[in-house]
Chains A and B, each alone.
Chain A
Amino acid sequence: MLEVADLNSFYGGAHILHGVSLDVGQGEVVALLGRNGAGKSTTMKSIMGLVRPRSGTVTFEGQAIAGRPAYRIARLGLGYVPEDRRIFTDLTVLENLEVGCRAARGTQRAWTSERLFELFPNLAERRSARAGAMSGGEQQMLTIARTLMGNPKLVLLDEPSEGISPLIVEQMAFAIRQLKAEGIAILLSEQNLHFAMLIADRVQVIEGGRIQFHGTAEELSNQPKLREELLAL
């Protein structure tokens, strides 16, 4: 469904991604693991068109999308949940969802705010609240919900477990499994191996802007040395 091949990205003169390749299949959950500064977010931004890759290809459902503007990529059915949440703090919860709203494609069952409130019950009570006044966990749910309103076929989830309490992390894992059950494919960036193992079909480990490992979560946990080296776990 999504194939990334030999991606090279730069910030100014700094070469950040060195030939990253990865793929996500139909309805699959793939975790992109790596330490701080490994290049996870840059990979996601390069896929999404927020950073223009200098070379390499990104193919989504057979279409080459590298170099296209972000809004076009989004309209193809790629959703992006940024790591720093970037909710619209001045807008209410419902208005945030409105910004993300796009028509469903083909046979997809469309997401509505009501369905999302079922998935994230905490948001339901706060639908008219200013988004900036919510807790970090609620804001994280809102970013995911906002992206889902665009009825994406694949979601790039950048560190959803970062900086939120274990209880909310549990809820998050539950919600993500629900999405998988809906047939939505997910590329998940994580530092939290435990969280990733709860939901990922496969893992890729990135370090220094290069993919250093790919395989299943079990394979990674059976290689403690590698784990320590790449993830400091």
Chain B
Amino acid sequence: MGFFVAQLLTGMANAGALFLVASGLSIIFGVTRVVNFAHGSFYMLGAYIAYTLMSHLPGAIGFWSAIVLTGIAVGLIGLLVEIVVLKPIYRAPELYQLVATFGVILVIQDAVRYVWGPEDLIGPRAPGFGGVVSIFGQSVPTYDLVLIALSLVVLAALWALFNKTRIGVLIRAATQDREMVGALGVNQTLLFSAVFFLGSFLAGIGGAAQLPKGGADLTMDLNIITAVFVVVVIGGMGSIFGAFMASVLISELQVFGVQLLPQSTLVLMFVVMAIILVVRPQGLFGRPDAAVYQGNSAMVPKPLKPLGLAGKLVGAAILAFLAFIPFYGDNFLVFLFSDIIIFCLFAASLHFILGIGGMASFGHAAYYGGGAYVAALLVQYLQTPMELAIVLAPLGAGFLALIIGWFCVRLSGVYFAMLTLAFAQVVWSVVVQWTSLTGGTDGILNIWPSDWASDPSVFYYVVLVVGAGGIIALRAMAHTPFGYALRGTRDSSLRAEAIGIHVRRVQLLAFAFAGAMAGLAGALFVFAKGSIFPTELAISRSFDALIMVFFGGVQSLGGPIAGASVFTLLQDWLSDFTYWQLLLGVAIIAVVILSPRGITGLLETTGRIGDRFRTATGSNAEVAGKEAR
């Protein structure tokens, strides 16, 4: 009994910070319709800022005022991000906003590293709450009780704010129909800013309050954002109470899960999430229509045409150029271009579902890394030859994508994005936690190509042939009836359904095919590097793929190739700088704001053949009209 209660309280205490962050994300999304991926970064900033403030402000008063001041500081930083980064792109498709917020993640990562250094920080004890209390004979940290009380106070305060104040009523109204709120004389710009301040404030408080318990480190941002997505998907986007209940549920599951299945807490979380999604796709407390919120609405895709003669010539020229690399380049160049080809295939596979299918997968690294691990495990345990491993890896990755996709295609837009990301984290954590099979973070080493391909130049040709083959297969698929059906589901799933397309099945098959092709890229990667580590499955790798597709321009089949090339070269060049993430982040934000159609969009506009396209941002009347509907 005592043990049970103690565990329950620990879970509730863990839920506190999670709830603060999740409710902030939910509030921001409700009004602005922006999923702020950088919300976890605000949480991390909260922890670091509180660390500094608490070391300067003594005593109990200092401690509690540090938490409030941290909230205000982070709220102001959030406001700055909103004004500089998001304000210019509120009307752009959601993918652009998501990518811009990645940029913010990178910038904040490096800024924190610069200011506070790379070492983990241990938080101070809360004055007066440093000890433990005995509950049913079990000792429970007093500060856990403080965290529980804090989350209840915040829940009550939010309830009062939303039901008893004018600004709260305006926020609720704007969550439903922000244009109408504007037509009634409310300045939306201010409302958006207020909401961003509030959401960031909550994240900052969350980071500050958990400092005595969890400290501060540089992985907090991505760790919490995954958990927050799970919470939001389970609780229902836009519901504060849902966020609270789901935070408690997830945290309790983790606490009790450790007792039952010590190695698989994340798997448990995933099972619960999967069950809830199948039963209630809108989440426990979400409204059904929120779940069908359609993304990409402002994106007007151009019709795809098979390559003309000129395009074929360009393609052939690029291939010829690549084929000559080993003749005039040194090994460094051969490795660099081998990387580029692999990333091109990886990006092209994501583009297939994202650009053609309209499904923004935020966890595509699961299939890339998944394929890589399939190949590596086959070699490690079954001594499979390279040739067979390269054939089997995409099958394995495709199968994984089929299972995960079965859940994900039930959702669309940002929900789809969050779910794919959460599943990718599950795959990552399985690989990390299942040390006996995968070696955990030590990875799998010594996976080399077959003897005949052991020379770097020869293996380069393997990469070129297989990589180009994969990209050509993806392109060809886009021009089959299946590809047309997929585009139909992107443009209007209702219309596609009406003309007899089984939308979910088409989406699922596309998802699996893209997963398989990503797995193929992963298999090439293992043999090129000779080893594999869990980082190839991590969120940052998924983000890389998105940035590559985005850099290239979502609407062009050539985009991912251009994007992957530029991204790889850029990263190669930037990695000489200590704070390269910061530069990359700034570059991403700049591209989003200045050239929302990516490199290919830029080329086409300057080449004056952009008329075939309608710009993503469109005319004002058009966008206003769309919102009015």
Contacts and interface: CB of A to CB of B under 8 A. Distances in A.
Please determine whether chains A and B interact with each other in the same assembly: yes
A207 B236 CA distance: 45
A38 to B, nearest CB: 16
B219 interface: no
B186 A99 contact: yes
B180 A74 contact: no
A99 B622 contact: no
A146 B181 CA distance: 11
B227 to A, nearest CB: 27
A102 B182 CA distance: 13
Interface string A86-97: 101111000110
23 contacts: A9-B621, A10-B619, A45-B628, A51-B624, A51-B628, A52-B624, A69-B188, A70-B179, A71-B185, A71-B186, A71-B187, A71-B188, A74-B183, A74-B184, A74-B185, A80-B183, A88-B177, A90-B175, A91-B172, A95-B172, A99-B170, A99-B173, A102-B184
Nearest to A96: B173
B186 A88 contact: no
A12 B298 CA distance: 11
B621 A91 contact: no
Contacts of A12: 614, 618-619, 621-622, 625
B81 to A, nearest CB: 22
A10 B621 contact: yes
A52 B620 CA distance: 6
Interface in A26-52: 45, 48-52
B166 interface: yes
A136 interface: no
Contact of B184 (A10, A53, A146): A146
Contacts of B170: 99
Interface of A: 9-12, 45, 48-54, 69-71, 74-75, 80, 82, 86, 88-91, 95-96, 98-102, 146-147, 150
A34 to B, nearest CB: 18
Contact of A75 (B176, B185, B620): B185
A49 B187 CA distance: 13
B169 interface: yes
A69 B186 CA distance: 10
Given A12-B619, A50-B628, A71-B187, A90 B176 contact: yes
Contacts of A100: 184-185
A46 to B, nearest CB: 9
Nearest to B163: A95
Residues of B contacting A: mostly: helix
A11 B625 CA distance: 6
Given A10-B621, A98-B166, A91 B173 contact: yes
A88 to B, nearest CB: 4
B622 A11 contact: yes
A71 B624 contact: no
Contacts of B625: 11-12, 51
Given A12-B622, A98-B166, A88 B172 contact: yes
A11 B185 contact: no
Contact of A70 (B166, B176, B182, B619): B182
Contacts of A51: 621, 624-625, 628
Contacts of A50: 179, 183, 624, 628
Nearest to A76: B185
B596 to A, nearest CB: 17
A102 B628 CA distance: 23
The 7 nearest A-B residue pairs measured at CB: A74-B185, A12-B622, A52-B620, A11-B625, A88-B173, A70-B182, A86-B180
Looking at B181, B183, B614, B625, the one whose CB has the most chain A CB atoms below 10 A away is B183
A150 B181 CA distance: 12
Contacts of B166: 98, 101
Contacts of A45: 624, 628
Contact of A82 (B173, B181, B183): B183
Interface string B37-74: 00000000000000000000000000000000000000
Interface in B146-186: 166, 169-170, 172-173, 175-177, 179-186
A51 to B, nearest CB: 5
A102 B181 CA distance: 12
Contacts of B622: 10-12
Looking at A12, A49, A150, the one whose CB has the most chain B CB atoms below 10 A away is A12
Interface string B502-531: 000000000000000000000000000000
B583 to A, nearest CB: 36
A48 B620 contact: no
B620 A150 contact: no
B42 to A, nearest CB: 27
A61 to B, nearest CB: 16
Contact of A54 (B169, B184, B621): B621
B184 A99 contact: yes
Nearest to B238: A90
Contacts of B619: 10, 12
Contacts of A88: 172-173, 176-177, 180
Nearest to A152: B185
Interface string B596-629: 0000000000000000001000111110110010
A98 B169 contact: yes
Contacts of B177: 86, 88
Nearest to A80: B183
A71 B186 CA distance: 6
B182 A71 contact: yes
Contacts of B173: 88, 91, 95-96, 99
Given A52-B620, A90-B175, 10 more contacts: A45-B628, A50-B624, A51-B628, A54-B621, A71-B185, A74-B184, A75-B185, A82-B180, A88-B180, A147-B184
A53 B625 CA distance: 11
Contacts of A80: 183-184
Contacts of B187: 71
A36 to B, nearest CB: 16
A49 B621 CA distance: 10
Contacts of B184: 71, 74, 80, 99-100, 102, 146-147, 150
Nearest to A88: B173
Nearest to A75: B185
Contacts of A10: 619, 621-622
A12 B626 CA distance: 9
Looking at B179, B618, B621, the one whose CB has the most chain A CB atoms below 10 A away is B621
Nearest to A97: B169
Contacts of B180: 82, 86, 88
A71 B621 contact: no
